[in-house]
A and B are shown apart, each in its own frame.
Chain A
Amino acid sequence: MLSPLPSVSDADRLAVLRSYDIVDTGIEPAFNDIVTLAREVCHTPVALISFVEAERQWFKAAAGLSVCETPLDQSVCAHAIRQHGTLVIRDLSKDARTKMNPLVTGEPHIRFYAGALLKTPSGVPLGTVCVVDLKPRPEGLTPAQIECLEALARRAMTQLELRRDAAEKRAMAAEQKIAVDVSVARALETERLAVLLKASEARLRLAQQIGDIGSFEIEMQTGKMQVTEWFCRLLGMPYRTNYNYSDLLPLVFAEDRAKMLDGALRADRSQNLFAEYRIKRADTGETRWIARHAEYVRDEAGLPLRLVGTLRDITVQKTANAQQAMLNQELSHRMKNTMALVQAIARQTLRGTADREAAIHAFDQRIIALSSAHDVLLKQSWLAADLRLVVARILPLHADLARFSITGPAVTLGPKATLSLSLLLHELATNAVKYGSLSVPAGRVAIDWEIEGDDLVLQWHETGGPAPPPESGKPGLGSRLIKMGLAGTGRVETTYTSSGLTATFRAALKIVKEN
């Protein structure tokens, strides 16, 4: 059974026609040959290969006719494609379908038409190979002529198919070329990105190393973490890109666990995102201080999806802060003790003195001695002072150093013993200048010290001085301090000879060295 033919204006038929890409193309010898043969075989003045479009018919090849297209109302082929088989109209002026055709009623007054269908393999009619005569042909065409005309139509159709295949192949080749180009470009881009990524990773690693920063990203739902190499290094864990948040918790000090992001994993918005906590490193067990900064990454509804953040080892700062705090406290302690000493010097100097001028002078001298002791201590960050330096600093406040002979091994004094010895030497020298050997030009003082067992023994020995005056009334601060001995031990022996005072002080080395 033959399928019903589509109408001239059928959209599917027109689409098929367009798919051959033939209308409005240039001259092709293969099609010219076909119309030449058709005209010869059928003995007609005109032969055409005609394609019927929605509004017109267009001739790919024409023999004996100079136009290349006509409007559809002048087309006989339009009638041909409405039927199966070859259309032969012996006298166009007598046929109801064509007698009003302008080409029939007017120039060039065509009278005979025979058209064989150009049909696609699936049976869609595109147009015809046709012959036209200006005289009616009552005998029509012979069966052999019709067969030839149909054979030429098939030949034209084959040519159309070949043409289309070639075009498709060209298109496909072009497409393939594009595809190859694209894939090459993609490969190059991938390679470039890999290089960039590697460089960027290297930069990140370097930055994290320099900044001593490790970074992490926690998925809220699962607690899975992605971490960097430096993150693992900070915690002393083997380097992996993936950990579970719970892997971290055992490293954290029990008393600091409350600072961990446990709550954040339950999507709690109130989580403290900045924290400082202590860990024991996974590899060495060493205690380190870690600072964490984190930020939520939220979905469109504002619910936390991930937590991204950084870890930094702040042990050095923490230690420095603690040391600074300790230093401040130590400084304050020294200050208070110094104040207490000044207070004591003031009270003891002014106590029961009638001579105001002399008291103020004595006060000044004692404060200067105390201040000199501070200078010596400052040379070793207030931790210690060399005994010889203390002696050499205090004595010139009273007399030319040439009048002293100073002998003894190197001994390091603690800060308290330094202050106490300075004040003691000050009182001894003050008394010597007032009443002892330094009160006369020829008098001298020998200061010797040595280590005897666990003790430091220091001797003040005046020579060439006058006999001391007998003690009268209440002893002064100087005499009382001398009696207290070195570092207040009270272990002191004093002898007054005709040439001056000899005093021998003893104190445990352990005590005078104490900080």
Chain B
Amino acid sequence: MLRRPTARTTLQQHASTARPRILVVEDEPLLLLAAMDLVEDAGFTPVPAASADAAIKIIEDENDIFLVFTDIDMPGSMDGLKLAAAVRHRWPPIHIIVVSGLVNVQPGDLPAPGEFFRKPYETGKVIDAMRRLAG
């Protein structure tokens, strides 16, 4: 309710600065905040989503998301792995970085190309990956 208008305002603000935008998908608010700060530190504009369903809606509505940075373990109809698969299928150019604390997830479970980091992750390495993918 409140978030939508706020988010749009933020998007419009950032659209003017023209920094590449990264969709951050994480259902834990504190981790979402931390991930958004990380994205900003990397020099990009974060767009928050608290679930995979919300994330799909945002990518459908916006057309300038270049990377999806998502957790795996999330509520809703889709987890991060299914989100990654859907993104790879529907928007092939969008890059994907997946993080997870789940021990039984292997990098091979991801649609290629994609990056995988275990939680807790080393911030610097994630930032490097984002910058590399941004070209």
Instruction: List A residues at the B interface (Cβ < 8 Å).
Output: 329, 332-333, 335-337, 339-345, 347-348, 351, 416, 419-420, 423-424, 477, 480-481, 483-485, 487-493, 506, 510-511, 514
On chain A, the residues within 8 Å of B103 by CB distance are 329, 332-333, 336
Known contacts A423-B29, A423-B30; A493 and B2 CB within 8 A of each other: yes
Contact status A420-B28, CB under 8 Å: yes
Contact status B30-A329, CB under 8 Å: no
Question: How many residues of chain B have a CB within 8 Å of chain A?
Answer: 31
Distance in Å: Cβ of B62 to nearest Cβ of chain A: 16
Q: Which residue of B lies closest to A511 (CB)?
A: B75
Contact status A339-B120, CB under 8 Å: yes
Q: Does residue B18 face the partner (Cβ distance < 8 Å to A)?
A: no
Q: Does residue B129 face the partner (Cβ distance < 8 Å to A)?
A: no
On chain A, the residues within 8 Å of B50 by CB distance are 487-490
Query: How far is B27's CA from A13's CA once the two chains are assembled, in angstroms?
Result: 120
Q: Which of A420, A489, A510 contacts B30 (CB 8 A)?
A: A420
Most chain B CB within a 10 A radius of its CB, from A337, A419, A424 = A337
Contact status B75-A514, CB under 8 Å: yes
Distance in Å: Cβ of B80 to nearest Cβ of chain A: 13
On chain B, the residues within 8 Å of A423 by CB distance are 29-30
Distance in Å: Cβ of B28 to nearest Cβ of chain A: 6
Known contacts A485-B3, A488-B50; A419 and B28 CB within 8 A of each other: yes
Given contacts A335-B101, A490-B4, A493-B1, 17 further A-B pairs with CB under 8 A are: A329-B103, A333-B101, A333-B103, A337-B28, A337-B101, A341-B28, A345-B30, A347-B123, A424-B29, A481-B29, A484-B30, A485-B29, A488-B48, A493-B2, A506-B1, A510-B75, A511-B76
Known contacts A336-B103, A348-B33; A491 and B27 CB within 8 A of each other: no
Contact status A416-B27, CB under 8 Å: yes
On chain B, the residues within 8 Å of A332 by CB distance are 101, 103
On chain A, the residues within 8 Å of B3 by CB distance are 485, 489-492
Contact status A492-B2, CB under 8 Å: yes
Query: How far is B27's CA from A337's CA once the two chains are assembled, in angstroms?
Result: 12
Distance in Å: Cβ of A355 to nearest Cβ of chain B: 19
Contact status B29-A420, CB under 8 Å: yes
Q: Which residue of B lies closest to A486 (CB)?
A: B29
Contact status B32-A340, CB under 8 Å: no
Provide 13 A-B residue pairs closer than 8 Å at the C-beta atoms, listed in order of the A residue: A333-B102, A336-B103, A336-B118, A336-B119, A336-B120, A337-B28, A339-B120, A347-B34, A348-B34, A420-B28, A481-B30, A488-B28, A493-B2
Distance in Å: Cβ of B39 to nearest Cβ of chain A: 13
On chain A, the residues within 8 Å of B123 by CB distance are 347
Q: Which of B26, B101, B119 contacts A488 (CB 8 A)?
A: B26
Q: Which residue of B lies closest to A328 (CB)?
A: B103
Distance in Å: Cβ of B111 to nearest Cβ of chain A: 22
Q: Which residue of A lies closest to B100 (CB)?
A: A336
Query: How far is B30's CA from A416's CA once the two chains are assembled, in angstroms?
Result: 11
On chain B, the residues within 8 Å of A491 by CB distance are 1-3
Query: How far is B50's CA from A492's CA once the two chains are assembled, in angstroms?
Result: 14
Q: Does residue B31 face the partner (Cβ distance < 8 Å to A)?
A: yes
Q: Does residue B104 face the partner (Cβ distance < 8 Å to A)?
A: yes
Q: Does residue B115 face the partner (Cβ distance < 8 Å to A)?
A: no
Distance in Å: Cβ of B79 to nearest Cβ of chain A: 12
Known contacts A337-B119, A340-B119; A480 and B1 CB within 8 A of each other: no
Contact status B30-A344, CB under 8 Å: yes
Contact status A344-B101, CB under 8 Å: no
Most chain A CB within a 10 A radius of its CB, from B4, B118, B119 = B119
Contact status A340-B120, CB under 8 Å: yes
Query: How far is B26's CA from A488's CA once the two chains are assembled, in angstroms?
Result: 8
Q: Does residue B37 face the partner (Cβ distance < 8 Å to A)?
A: yes
Contact status B29-A484, CB under 8 Å: yes
Most chain A CB within a 10 A radius of its CB, from B1, B7, B34 = B34
Contact status B31-A481, CB under 8 Å: no
Q: Which residue of A lies closest to B31 (CB)?
A: A344
Binary contact readout B78-121 vs A (1 if CB under 8 angstroms, 0 otherwise): 00000000000000000000000111100000000000001111
Distance in Å: Cβ of B126 to nearest Cβ of chain A: 12
Contact status B2-A336, CB under 8 Å: no
Distance in Å: Cβ of B50 to nearest Cβ of chain A: 4
Query: How far is B31's CA from A416's CA once the two chains are assembled, in angstroms?
Result: 12
Query: How far is B34's CA from A358's CA once the two chains are assembled, in angstroms?
Result: 20
Query: How far is B119's CA from A345's CA once the two chains are assembled, in angstroms?
Result: 14
Query: How far is B76's CA from A344's CA once the two chains are assembled, in angstroms?
Result: 23
On chain B, the residues within 8 Å of A493 by CB distance are 1-2
Contact status B30-A348, CB under 8 Å: yes
On chain B, the residues within 8 Å of A341 by CB distance are 28, 30-31
On chain B, the residues within 8 Å of A344 by CB distance are 30-31, 33-34
On chain A, the residues within 8 Å of B104 by CB distance are 329
Q: Which residue of A lies closest to B123 (CB)?
A: A347
Contact status A351-B75, CB under 8 Å: no
